Structure 1
């Protein structure tokens, strides 16, 4: 059986390529709001971050997402993103053992 191609995306923090399922997409909507996009299909300018809380902390410390999306991002959003990434990483590890 023919193997399917795995879509790859680049983490804007680590500057490395990862399978799309190992990343989370952050999107700046046309209205200018910044949101977490779990579906990966929301309209707007997107940036991918690996499911690693250390990468989120690095992005927060250096405001890398602010520069990449050309918008000011609040600390509350970074806290929400960090919690989301930690939750998704835990789920990934939990279901990988099955």
Structure 2
């Protein structure tokens, strides 16, 4: 009998779909309250997951999905920073 490896699933805060963790990007809030993208998915801190699409990012902003996940208001400059970082990832 083969050993099937379990694939970790996470929910996108934009489209609300469950997807494999490796297909999503992690938005991270570290212990200092700083928000960033965690490409490896291994950094310490509270995380929320988003699909790698602009549509999901816009839905998350519109529905305040990230704010619900982190339980706090997120400043506009954080959204701008995340959008720039996301564009850099999509360009690769």
TM-score by length of 2: 0.77
The CA RMSD measured in Å over matched residues stands at 2.2
Note if 1:34 corresponds to 2:35.
Answer: yes
Instruction: Give the count of matched residue pairs.
Output: 91
Note the residue ranges of structure 1 that are not aligned, 5 or more in a row: 92-98
What SS class does the counterpart of residue 85 from structure 2 fall into?
A: helix
Specify the alignment match of 1:85 in structure 2: 86
TM-score by length of 1: 0.73
Note if 1:23 corresponds to 2:17.
Answer: no
* CA–CA distance in structure 1, aligned partners of residues 91 and 21 of structure 2: 17
* CA–CA distance in structure 2, aligned partners of residues 11 and 62 of structure 1: 12
1:30-69 superposed matches below 5 A:
30-69=31-70
- Structure with higher RCO (Cα < 8 A, 6+ apart): 2
* CA–CA distance in structure 1, aligned partners of residues 87 and 33 of structure 2: 26
